[in-house]
Structure 1
Amino acid sequence: MAKRHKNSLPPMKDEQPSFEEFKEAAHVAPVAVAGRLTRRLFTRGTWPEAQRVKELLRTETIGGLILLAAAVAAIVWANSPWRDGYEALRDAHIGPDSLGLNMSVAHWAADGLLAVFFLVVGLELKHEFVAGDLRNPAAAAVPVIAAVCGVATPALVYVAINAAAGGEGLKGWAIPAATDIAFALAVLAVIGSHLPTALRSFLLTLAVVDDLIAITIIAIFYSKGFSLGWLLASIAVVAVFGFLTQRGIKHWAILAPLAIVAWVFMYKSGVHATIAGVLLGLVVPVKGKHALAHRIEHRLRPYSAGFAVPVFAFFSAGVTVVGTSITETLADAVTLGVIAGLVLGKVVGIFGSTFLISKFTKAKLDENLSWADVFGLSLLGGIGFTVSLLIGELAFGTGSVKDDHVKVGVLLGSLLSALLASIVLGRRNRIYRRIEEEETRDADQDGVPDVYQRPEPA
């Protein structure tokens, strides 16, 4: 009789689950405990999905390290004796004025380069809802609820702090709502964490839903000068783009111009131009004979993680604190709201909702995990950067005093969350390193670890 790994799915009391049912077990897997059906939180997913997650982790981790380097370089330059050069480069205007596209370099980075990032997000969303973990309601429930609570709670914390202070600070209520997955994974790489794939998958899925909510918030609350005609024109171009990809058209000479036109029309509509990237990603087929989503994502993700997002970070993170009052900045309700929202709100939202799900439903934490793992993961959710900085600029205007305070709050809140997460997760490294070494030895000749295959009947 084959040996069953302690993480594998045990048979039901009366019947053995089919292989298809076993494959469906992702973040929340059914198990039999004391003769009744229950579910395990953060159990192992399928082998193909685990391999895909590892590929994403490698790209995002490298991109996160580049992003970190770009942010540090911007802060150093913006506070050096040559800071006037940084501001001159950031505020330099380029682009055709006749088309209304004469924008500053920082504006191009926020509206143009980030469109590539949001296109990759759209492709990731499409995959998750069609072929990934979010297609299964049982598997999707926990990360979706955690993401919703992880967005709502920081926003409420921010509003509570700024409502008492009054003023225009309330316009930035959504700033601490976003999680920067690239930065979060970069922190994992730095501390050398050996978190199980299921926890990392949960973080990725949570960030995907988080991005979807943030995109919706930007489209509804932070769009200006709305024009229905231009919006419909952009949607029409997106529909043509989707029609061609559904027919298997994959030539960049055809698709790239359509994507650019859709972006221009979206920009002119008053809706934030990055929404065009999301829509383009959502219409690309994931399944079937002409499934191009993975192909396009595979080619674009390195440019997004390695260039587009770091360049945006370089022109957005450069806040000048030399010659300013740090005390006044830290005393501002905007700064305090962002820090408290990221550090406190994210933990309460993500960890609290997951803990309550385990207490009041049949879903239980996997026996090989600790709630310290979930707590550390929730702290990582407090690393907000790319989308948080973008919302800050949309709320208060690039280069404004409040926007500078937002940058300080995002940087400090993210740094504090990263440090706390490093302390919590660092203690788990040795344990999970031993587990990974055991699982590496537990592999058959087909190269697929036994824990990802169908369990043998007792």
Structure 2
Amino acid sequence: MIQPLRSELTRYLRAETVGGAILLVAAAVALIWANSPVGESYFSVRDTVVGISALHLELSIGAWAQDGLLAVFFFVAGLELKRELVVGELADRKKALLPIIAAGGGVVVPAAIAFAIGFGAPGMDRGWAIPVATDIAFALAVLAMTGSRIPTGARVFLLSLAVVDDLLAIGLIAILFTASIAMLWLCASALTFAGYAYAQHRRITTPFLYVPLALFAWYAVHESGIHATIAGVALGLLTRVRKDRGEAEAPATRLEHRIQPFSAGFCVPVFALFASGVPLNSDVLGELFTNRVSLAVIAGLLIGKTIGIFGISWLAIRTGIATRPANLFNRDMFALSVLGAIGFTVSLLVAELAMADVGDGTSLEIAKAAVLITSLAASLIGSALLLRRGRVHGARRDDERDGVLE
């Protein structure tokens, strides 16, 4: 009786609606806890240092969630991207072109807006990267809950878009937040990645090889000075996605089924728990709509993402460079573009990295509050637009069915 229960739990955790809901609950708990009478305990737990001093791994619990647990999330993202590139929608060049172009617009325009508004503000020399990424779990959860009547091409477009712009965001993290590189550790990580790829090529399947390789790869990247989450996406991209003859499923599919529930049900929510605890005091609330850091993040996400994704998509479709997904219209694309403004996980990560050493921490709190409120606004606006578009598509299908019956 235990196995069916476990399988059912795994199936539910794998669904975007549940993963997104858990993420939202974790963020809400963090906000309530941090602003409650026992709020000091939140920051005490988050800043408690644990680890192994001999390995230079004495990190706070919040840092472990950021560097360690998010590496699992990025591993799943890497698996998803590799699968889409090799056997999924992105394998077809014509189908792949639109989400790739849209992701590019959804990175460049928000970054440009954030840079222009926040230029000269503390931390904005790198903080302009805060609004560049779309939160996969959160955005897909909103789409699943409110866009059930929208054609399935919408989910494929949004998933492909989010995966590609997360990859671009990961590249920015590697470039912007690497102060110095320890070449020996970088070489060690490269050799570990090569060993992982060779094991995949030789069709080795035992976790007794892959788990130590993955752990050492994470450690080597961490010690090299590059953000440790890069190890996750690199290993995901090196995993085989085509199944051999006689093989039930490819390693990437098998790993995604096993790890995605852990990532969605534990890793990302725990990160959100320790990243979303912003003290909403008078200082933060008073500056939320006047401080240039928060204005840069809000405008970059809500305006920049929507304009960047929809504008470049419309232009690519209009000029014939790419084609729109089947049965989707401009208003559908606009609603999906608004969902692209849900930054959350990666945006909070970039805010932590960009603002951690600025002043007394107020800039970090303001930036994170801006990410949270903008992601919430984008989810509400996007939901309203999707519900309206769902009614339009439903009415159109009813008319077509009535026409056939007549």
Query: In the alignment, what sits opposite 2:31?
Result: 75
Deviations 1:43-65 (A, max 9, x none): xxxxxxxxxxxx99962321111
1:406 aligns with 2:367: yes
Tell me which amino acid in the other structure corresponds to 2:179.
K
Alignment of 1:283 onto 2:238: yes
Separation (CA, whole Å) in 2 of partners of 1:345 and 1:57: 32
Unaligned runs of 5+ in 2: 1-10, 402-406
Q: In the alignment, what sits opposite 2:200?
A: 245
Q: Normalising by the residue count of structure 2, what TM-score does the alignment of the two structures yield?
A: 0.89
- What residue in structure 2 maps to residue 13 of structure 1? none
User: Which secondary structure state, in structure 2, belongs to the residue aligned with residue 250 of structure 1?
Assistant: coil
Check conservation: 1:57, 1:185, Cα contact below 8 A: no
Is 2:363 aligned against 1:393? no
Match of 1:102, SS state, is strand
Report the counterpart of residue 274 of structure 1 in structure 2.
Answer: 229
CA distance change for structure 1 residues 328 and 90 in 2, over 3 Å: closer, same or farther?
same
> Deviation string for 1:81-100 (max 9, x for gaps)?
01001001100011101110
Q: Go from structure 1 to structure 2 and tell me whether the alpha carbon gap of 1:235 and 1:325 turns closer, same or farther (over 3 Å shift).
A: closer
Number of aligned residue pairs: 385
Task: Identify the match of residue 160 of structure 1 among 116, 119, 131.
Answer: 116
Question: Is the alpha carbon distance of 1:70 and 1:140 closer, same or farther for their aligned partners in structure 2, counting shifts above 3 Å?
Answer: same
Q: Distance in 1 between matches of 2:237 and 2:326?
A: 37
Separation in 2, partners of 1:293, 1:364: 29
CA 1:362–1:87: 2 relative to 1, 3 Å:
closer
Distance apart, 1:326 and its partner CA: 1.7
Query: Structure 2 vs 1, CA of residues 113 and 437 (structure 1 numbering), >3 Å: closer, same or farther?
Result: farther
What CA deviation, in whole Å up to 9, does each residue of 1:244-290 have, x standing for no partner? Answer: 12222222222111100110011000000011111111111112427
Q: Any residues of structure 2 matched to 1:205-354 within 5 Å, and which? A: 205-289=160-244, 291-354=250-313
Over the matched positions of the two proteins, sequence identity in percent amounts to: 48
User: What TM-score, normalized by structure 1, do the two folds share?
Assistant: 0.80
Aligned-partner Cα distance in 2 for 1:338–1:248: 45
Counterpart of 1:183?
138
Look up the SS of the partner of 1:233 in the other structure: helix
Match of 1:454 in 2: none
Closer, same or farther in 2 for the Cα pair 1:141/1:192, shift >3 Å? closer
The answer to whether the aligner puts 1:119 opposite 2:119 as a matched pair is no
Alpha-carbon separation, structure 1, partners of 2:101 and 2:279: 38
Name the CA shift for 1:437/1:261 in 2 (closer, same or farther; >3 Å): farther
Aligned to 1:171: 126
Q: Over the residues paired in the alignment, what is the CA RMSD in angstroms?
A: 2.3
2:65 — aligned with what? Answer: 109
Aligned pair in 2 of structure 1 residues 325, 295: CA closer, same or farther (>3 Å)?
closer
Deviations 1:206-233 (A, max 9, x none): 0111111011111111123311110110
Partner of 1:16: none
**Do 2:89 and 2:156's aligned partners in 1 also have CA atoms closer than 8 Å?**
no
User: Larger % of helix: which?
Assistant: 2
**1:397 partner letter:** A
Deviation at 1:125, TM superposition (A): 1.6
Judged with a 3 Å threshold, the aligned counterparts in structure 2 of structure 1 residues 167 and 117 are, in CA distance, closer, same or farther, namely: closer
Distance 2:284 2:382 in 1: 29
Matched, 1:203 2:158: yes
Post-superposition offset of 1:306: 1.1
Shift of residue 194 of structure 1?
A: 2.1
Post-superposition Cα deviations, 1:359-379, rounded to whole Å, max 9, x if no partner, equal 222756568433111110000
Aligned counterpart for 2:330 among listed residues 368, 371, 380: 371
